[in-house]
């Protein structure tokens, strides 16, 4: 299992895959650790999570650099990711006890009753490569505060980040065995899911992976939370502030080199302002700083893997064959590494791959809508439903659209879609089910238990 620098194509590290005995040892250790951790008071769990946040702060530079080297994200974005990991640890350290406090229920004079929340045990977290630290900590923090243990399965190309998470947690005082990492290929995950010591599973990944994991876990009657792909629509109405809409769209799509589930995938612009929007968008894209991901000025670095670049390029070519106009980019450079230029497609229709599929790379796809009703029809004409945004000078109208019309798990008005520890995050349709973050996220992996005491 290799870690490869996307900027150069050079191998950084080769990791041996864990054998069956090593996996067994990690599962046994997590199972034992879970039983004692479940009885640790909230205040002590919170102290550990705050120590984790302090370690993240202390190791900021090295962790950010590791992410740049393993998956190519620009250093400024990597630094922001580490900060966000510390934020989510502190958030759940501060709020988990109130989120999981016993809830009395009035059942009359004959008995006392309440709802209590208890940990499930060991949860398997199958993680992606695109946010190798954030995806880990956004689940580990609430899971630990809920009293669970977590077995972490990182993506094979970012194992260095996975082992860095494991080391950092130990250095912060997380008990031995509570959050072990298993280094296995995807084909060897099924036996781990089926293991009786695994109580539940969470996956962030493609809808194809989600279906496979859900089928396996379902056959064992195990709870699953799935955060899958997205094809987020950004709806720009005729009365929108176009400069604001362009800035938000570009920031969203450039995040992580376009390799984000909540990137602005389908830009749907109302016809009266389509030409003006396209011109502003082209101007902004031509000014993007593209190059060395370790430079603080870089906005777009390489893609994470060669196969991912091949997939994106093939999708772009099929979009052009389907009638889209290639305004910028769309050519694979000859230099070493997994570089792909910022690409703009206009004239995209519902028949285009850019509309029907998720393009996981630095590709902007612009569609034109006849009127607001047509724009919302296009926005919802997708098998995905993770995030969506609408831009309008009428905040009340935009709020109504976000609340009632857009079919997605997170809907933003005059802003780009993002995750926040205070808010639930997740999707509908092929974007998965269940929620992460906030009180809704921590409740996903607890036993919501009724207790009735007869008087």
Write the DSSP string, 48-110. HHHHHHHHHHHTHHHHHHHHHHHH---HHHHHHHHHHHHHHHHHHHHHHHHHT--EEE---TT
Among left, alpha and beta (phi > 0; psi -120 to 50; other), residue 232 is beta
- In CATH, what is the architecture of 233-422? 3-Layer(aba) Sandwich (3.40)
Q: What pLDDT band is residue 343 in, cutting at 50, 70 and 90?
A: very high
User: 2-228+431-454 maps to which CATH number?
Assistant: 3.40.605.10
Residue located via tokens 């045990």 = 121
pLDDT band, residue 56 (cuts 50/70/90): very high
Strand partners, 446: 119
Angle, vertex CA 226, rays to CA 66 and CA 46, nearest 5: 60
pLDDT number for residue 45 = 98
Sign, Cα dihedral of 122, 126, 132, 134 = negative
Q: What is the pLDDT of residues 4-55, one digit of tens each?
A: 999 999 999 999 999 999 999 999 999 999 999 999 999 999 999 999 999 9
DSSP 8-state symbol, 364:
E
Q: Round to whole Å and give the CA distance between 151 and 191.
A: 13
Catalytic pick among 227, 270, 357, 444: 227
> Among this protein's residues, is 17 annotated catalytic?
no
Is the separation of the CB atoms in 159 and 1 below 8 Å?
A: yes
Same fold, 2-228+431-454 and 233-422: no
- The answer to whether 257 and 73 have CB atoms below 8 angstroms apart is yes
**Conformation bin of residue 349: beta by default, left when phi > 0, alpha when psi is -120 to 50:** beta
CA atoms of 385 and 395, how far apart (whole Å): 22
Average pLDDT, the chain: 98
Indicate if 261 belongs to the active site. Answer: yes
**Domain map (residue ranges) of the chain:** 2-228+431-454, 233-422
- Candidates 89, 261, 319, 367; catalytic one: 261
Question: Please, how many CA atoms are within 13 Å of residue 128, restricted to the half-sphere of its CB?
Answer: 22
Q: Average pLDDT for residues 279-297, to the nearest whole number?
A: 97
Distance CA 428, CA 182 (A): 29
Compute the distance between CA of residue 149 and CA of residue 31 in angstroms, rounded to an integer: 7
Summarize pLDDT for 60-105 with one digit per residue, the tens.
999 999 999 999 999 999 999 999 999 999 999 999 999 999 999 9
Work out the average pLDDT over 129-154.
98
Q: How far apart are CA 265 and CA 218, in angstroms?
A: 31
pTM of the prediction?
A: 0.97
- What tens digit of pLDDT does each residue of 186-237 get? 999 999 999 999 999 999 999 999 999 999 999 999 999 999 999 999 999 9
pLDDT tens, residue by residue, 121-138? 999 999 999 999 999 999
């Amino acid at each position: 299992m290799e870690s490869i620098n996307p900027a150069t194509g050079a191998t950084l590290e080769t990791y041996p895959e864990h054998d069956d005995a090593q996996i067994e040892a990690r599962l046994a250790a997590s199972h034992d650790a879970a039983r004692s951790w479940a009885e640790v008071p909230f205040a002590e769990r919170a102290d550990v999570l705050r120590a984790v946040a302090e370690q993240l702060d202390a190791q900021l530079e090295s962790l950010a650099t590791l992410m740049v080297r393993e998956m190519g994200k620009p250093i400024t974005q990597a630094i922001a990711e580490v900060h966000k990991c510390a934020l989510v640890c502190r958030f759940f350290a501060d709020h988990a006890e109130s989120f999981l406090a016993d809830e009395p229920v009035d059942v009359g004079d004959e008995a006392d009753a309440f709802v209590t929340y208890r940990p499930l045990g060991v949860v398997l977290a199958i993680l992606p490569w695109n946010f190798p630290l954030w995806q880990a900590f956004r689940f580990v923090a609430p899971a630990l505060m809920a009293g669970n243990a977590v077995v972490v399965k990182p993506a094979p190309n970012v194992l260095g980040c996975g082992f860095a998470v494991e080391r950092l947690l130990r250095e912060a005082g997380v008990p031995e065995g509570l959050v072990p990492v298993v280094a296995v290929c995807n084909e060897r995950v099924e036996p781990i899911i089926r293991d009786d010591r695994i109580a539940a599973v969470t996956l962030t990944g493609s809808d194809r992976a989600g279906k496979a994991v859900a089928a396996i876990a379902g056959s064992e009657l195990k709870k699953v939370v799935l955060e899958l792909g997205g094809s987020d629509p950004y709806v720009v109405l005729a009365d929108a502030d176009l400069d604001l809409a362009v800035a938000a769209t570009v920031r969203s799509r450039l995040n992580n080199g376009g390799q984000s589930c909540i990137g602005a995938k389908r830009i749907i612009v109302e016809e009266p302002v389509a030409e003006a929007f396209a011109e502003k968008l082209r101007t902004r894209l031509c000014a993007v700083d593209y190059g060395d991901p370790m430079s603080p000025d870089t906005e777009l670095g390489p893609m994470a893997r060669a196969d991912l670049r091949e997939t994106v390029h093939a999708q772009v070519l099929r979009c052009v064959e389907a009638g889209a106009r290639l305004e910028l980019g769309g050519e694979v450079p000859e230099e070493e590494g997994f570089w792909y230029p910022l690409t703009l497609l206009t004239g995209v229709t519902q028949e285009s791959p850019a509309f029907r599929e998720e393009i996981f790379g630095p590709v902007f796809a612009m569609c034109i809508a006849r009127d607001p009703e047509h724009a919302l029809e296009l926005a919802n004409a997708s098998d995905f439903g993770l995030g969506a945004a609408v831009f309008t000078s009428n905040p009340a109208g935009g709020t109504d659209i976000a609340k009632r019309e857009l079919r997605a798990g997170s809907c933003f008005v005059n802003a780009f879609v993002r995750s926040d520890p205070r808010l639930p995050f997740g999707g509908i349709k092929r974007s998965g089910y269940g929620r992460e973050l906030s009180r809704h996220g921590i409740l996903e992996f607890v036993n919501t238990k009724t207790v009735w005491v007869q008087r």
